[in-house]
Structure 1
Amino acid sequence: MNYTLATCSFALFLIFSCSPDKKEFGLDISTDASQILKGKTLFEQQCSTCHNFNEDAIGPNLSGLTRQIETQWIREFIKNPAAAIENKDSRAVDLLAKYKTQMPGFPALTDQDIEALLSYMHTFETVPIPISGDTTSNLIPEKIKDSGIRLELELYAQLPASDTVPPLAKMTKMEPIPGTQRLFINDQRIGLYEIENQKPVLYLNVLEKRPAMVSKPGWATGVGNFAFHPDFETNGLFYTSHTEPGGTAPSDFGYTDSLGVFMQWVLTEWKAENPSAAVFQGTDREVLRIDNASQAHGMQELTFNPFSQKGDPDYGLLYIGYGDGGTAEKRFAAISNHQGAGIYSSILRIDPAGKDGVNGQYGIPKINPFAGIPGKAGEIMAYGFRNPNRIFWDEKGQLHATDIGQHSIEEINRIEPGKFYGWPIREGTFSINPFGSFRTLYPLPVDDSKYGASYPLIQLEHDETVAIIGGYIMPEGPLKGKFIFGDIPSGRLFFADLNESSSPVAKTWGVTFEGQEVSLQTLVNHDRVDLKFGIDAEKNVYMMSKTEGKIYRIED
């Protein structure tokens, strides 16, 4: 998983409240050593990105849970939390209210798997002391205002279901081949589709070409992103990122042996024999392989500068958004707090045609801020991001990135080469202790300037949005020239004029469908929208929902 979502949130913050009934829970949970070991492995794979047994993380602290709540309730909630919310279960509703997003169910876990998880959880006896209130609320007192703007949506296309339960299709990006009308979209479980006459046609089956690829657990795994070279029509080159299990092959970038490798992110270059062909045929090569400590915050973005022309210094250079890999949550903050010495938590820029990278499969552009500097990673364009899931340029050609925060702040940053954007010692314009509670933020210190942090162009608190996703600059209509973005889980929609001032103001907008105003949650018939944005060659902007695999065109 990426981005502030509890992949195993089967605990609730009110469950630890005192009760006059001293009933002892968990007596039916097995203490068999082999089952506990199996549960530990499952927990580390499925839950550890969002939960631990020391404090609230992305999801609640689970220590002592099995001794405070009916075991059957926990079993059922792991399987299908949506049903509990739909049935107005008070614990489930309270969890949703506190953590601002609905967790997914785990129908793939067998009964034996759940029993093993319970056995492992039951080894933690300490009941945490509940925190009174939310320690990070109302950091930004000004609330986002509604613009009153409503735009009509039209159902444009439907991806084939790649699973039987939501999300039915895991798209993250839809963009055209540069200079053409050809429109492509990914499904993280499968590969790349071309949209022809509003119908998806499978262009590249990455899973077939890379059988080691995995797209579970979490939303962030699988074919994370893709980018076509600006000269694709002549050279046939394009790039994908995907995940494989840790240890599948030797990595080019890793970290201390004290932290396990859960996933590896792989960057692949594909060369089409015939760039005009409807189905890919050609060759491929691995460009880069990076170890990741969890399923979260990996290689979420690939893109080329659309404003760059032949002869420009960065023409044909590939930008890569790479997060902290979940290392901060695992208390290895130094991996992302590297001051330019490592590649994690960074926006990278590489030359796919070069050979002077660490493995000889790519080059380090001389225009990069740290190129050739001893002790620095020459691949870095900028660093200090938790999860830079979207990299984009505004109409003036200025580089920006959206960055998903931890517990409190979502960011849109204007990127300048070589700058440090704060993570993991800053979240928005606040201090955070990466070795303390992630739910506690502090004012900036009086000597803040010595840390050299650059701060967001726009920051939003988690009472407004919990996982930001960037969109595009709208070409026409009432939002012409405005950058639209949204909240991944809820589908709440925002816009801002990035060139308005040094501190652009975000506002909300909404949609109508078939003439009726509707929330995206209602539109996709699910509390979790899994919002993404796309664009075509005519600059029409689209919204996509993984929940049903549907694509909607915004009618200006």
Structure 2
Amino acid sequence: MDHGRPSRRRTALPAVLLSAAAVALAGCSGQDAAAPAPASTRQLPAPSSSSPSSPEAPLSPGAQLPAALAAGHALRGTPGTAQDVVTGLDVPWSIAVLPDGSALISERDTARVLRVSQTGGTWRAEQVTATGPAGAVPDVEPRGEGGLLGLALSPSFAQDSWLYAYTTTATDDRVVRMRYSADDAGGAGTLSAPEPIITGITSATVHHGGRLAFGPDRMLYVTTGDASAPSTAQDPQALTGKVLRLTPDGQPAPGNPVAGSPVWTWGHRNPQGIGWDSAGRMFAAEFGQNTQDELNLLQPQRNYGWPLVEGAVPGPDGSDADVTDPAFTAPLVTWPTSDASPSGLLVTADAVYVAALRGQRLWRIPLDDGVLGQPEALLDSEHGRLRDVVAGPDGSLWVLTDNTSRGRPTAGDDRLLRLPLT
């Protein structure tokens, strides 16, 4: 079925940072899609109260940014040598830093939540007791790329103790929330029975998306993959292949492009990283198929092209797609899939960081007063596949490896790494 698809004609763009200069060169034929990009920069739009890239409902006077965003915005500097925080993790997927400086980590296949805390200068990981078998989160079906995926703390966590989680079940993908209770005796704490806030997201073996984050508007943003049904990414009625925007209770957020719909953006294949800069611009990292991965600037009611467009070239369902058609929103950055397969994303005061799985590196894209610079590769093949990156509680970067799922694990994998900033 045709869902208002844009016009098509064949146009190829190189896989580069899409500066104005790069766009001007895109019409030249014969360029290799994986060719190295020239040094270039891109000026990002400046959000305003009427800009679609800024929150629809600005924060009330005195309202605070979600802690994870504020922590990222406070960081700047050059990452140093990676150090182990904890080892022996089993397919870790997401990190949520708690107000006391400890952190919660999800394990995809075991459906366990671990608390990482420090005692006497030594970090350790202990299982939080949930209500499922063996203390795991209940009703999680860990098949393929599914299981217990993204975590996010409520922006009012100090008052309500809600931990949000993206899970795959035997029948669907869903977002649930559980109340986290710390253990005054020094244990890892407990989680209440999950309360579903959105259900019925089509599930499959792969392409779940699964990242959660609260934005500067204190709404919950959820990334969903196409569930191996690419055409659904272009269907505005489907929940797959989208970024959703919800209230903390799981209702479609006020100000969404279509009243009563949770859909914020569409045309996504498998987005797994989202974050915001201090101006309110929203970034997302997305897996391509075989050609190009993407870093996007997300704006509501925009179509990011999949499966008609992959990165900046025609996609598998768009052999004659015009990738310059304004109906598609072009990526800010593209990579060959061998260099990225991007997952977690963090925005700091001076950079956008993207954790790469197949690429086995941490990408740093400089960000200076709204100007995006040329991507830099860090940790290249030093620690294998990288799944998530967050602002650590000590002013460093915290990075999760993911080698026990499909990589080549070494002794101690998987790990939580710490990268000091100087």
Correspondences of 1:32-51 after superposition (within 5 Å): none
2:158: which partner in 1?
233
Conserved in 2, the CA contact under 8 Å of 1:534 and 1:542?
yes
Query: Does 1:322 pair with 2:224?
Result: yes
Partner secondary structure for residue 81 of structure 2 = strand
Give the CA deviation at 1:443: 6.8
Q: TM-score normalised to the size of structure 2?
A: 0.71
Offset of 1:530 from its aligned partner? 4.7
Q: Matched residues, percent identical?
A: 16
Alignment match, 1:453: 328
Change (3 A) 1:490 1:417: closer
1:278 Cα offset (Å): 4.1
Distance 2:100 2:166 in 1: 23
Give the one of 251, 256, 269 matched to 1:368: 256
Aligned with 2:82: secondary structure? strand
1:151 partner SS = coil
Of 524, 532, 537, the match for 2:388: 532
Change (3 A) 1:501 1:409: farther
Distance 1:170 1:141, change over 3 A: same
Q: In the TM superposition, what are the counterparts of 1:46-445 in structure 2 within 5 Å? A: 138-143=32-37, 151-160=80-89, 169-177=90-98, 179-188=99-108, 189-197=110-118, 198-205=123-130, 207-208=132-133, 211-216=138-143, 218=144, 220-246=145-171, 264-272=172-180, 278-305=188-215, 308=216, 314-315=217-218, 317-328=219-230, 333=231, 335-338=232-235, 340-353=236-249, 362-372=250-260, 378-434=261-317, 444=322
- The answer to whether the 8 A contact 2:104-2:113 is kept is yes
1:472 aligns with 2:372: no
Q: Which has the higher strand share?
A: 2
Decide whether the 8 Å contact of 1:319 with 1:350 is kept in 2: yes
CA positional deviation for 1:395? 3.3
Cα drift, residue 487 of structure 1? 2.4
- Distance (whole Å) between structure 2 residues aligned to residue 300 and residue 472 of structure 1: 16
- 1 or 2 for the larger relative contact order (CA 8 Å, sep ≥6)? 2
1:137 CA displacement: 9.0
Q: Do the aligned residues in 1 keep the contact of 2:360 with 2:379 (CA within 8 Å)? A: no
State the AA in 2 paired with 1:221: G
**Structure 1 residue 411: Cα displacement:** 0.4
8 A contact 1:320–1:349 mirrored in 2: yes
Give 1:311's aligned residue.
Answer: none
Q: Matches of 2:321 and 2:175 in 1, distance apart?
A: 39
Distance 1:499 1:351 in 2: 31
C-alpha deviation, 1:482, in angstroms: 1.9
Distance in 1 (CA, whole Å) between partners of 2:182 and 2:386 is: 34
Provide Cα deviations, 1:56-115, integer angstroms capped at 9, x if missing partner.
Answer: xxxxxxxxxxxxxxxxxxxxxxxxxxxxxxxxxxxxxxxxxxxxxxxxxxxxxxxxxxxx
2: CA distance between counterparts of 1:154 and 1:445?
42
Please state how far the C-alpha of 1:212 moved relative to its aligned partner.
Answer: 3.6
CA offsets 1:216-245 (integer angstroms, 9 cap, x no match): 3x3x21101111101112112121121122
Instruction: Flag the 1:443–1:268 CA change in 2: closer, same or farther, 3 A.
Output: closer
C-alpha spacing 1:234/1:500, structure 2 compared with 1 (3 Å): closer
Q: Deviations over 1:276-319 (max 9, x none)?
A: 784115343222223535221224111112xx3xxxxx32x211
Three-state SS of the structure 1 residue aligned to 2:159 is: helix
* Contact 1:491–1:531 (Cα < 8 Å) also in 2: no
Shift of 1:142: 2.6
The 1:183/1:143 distance shift into structure 2, 3 A limit, reads: same
Alpha carbons of structure 1 residues 243 and 416: separation in structure 2 relative to 1, 3 Å: same
Offset, 1:474: 5.1
Answer whether contact 2:353 2:389 (CA < 8 A) is retained: no
Question: CA offset at residue 543 of structure 1?
Answer: 2.2
Which among 345, 358, 365 is matched to residue 489 of structure 1? 358
Secondary structure of the residue that 1:336 maps to in structure 2?
Answer: helix
The alpha-carbon distance between structure 1 residues 411 and 269, as it changes in their structure 2 partners (threshold 3 A), is: same
Q: Distance in 2 between matches of 1:232 and 1:196?
A: 18
2 CA distance for matches of 1:392 and 1:552? 20
Tell me: CA distance 1:431–1:500, structure 2 relative to 1, closer, same or farther (3 Å). Answer: farther
- 1:28-77 C-alpha deviation (Å, 9 max, x unpaired): xxxxxxxxxxxxxxxxxxxxxxxxxxxxxxxxxxxxxxxxxxxxxxxxxx
* CA RMSD after TM alignment: 2.9
Q: Which has the larger radius of gyration?
A: 1
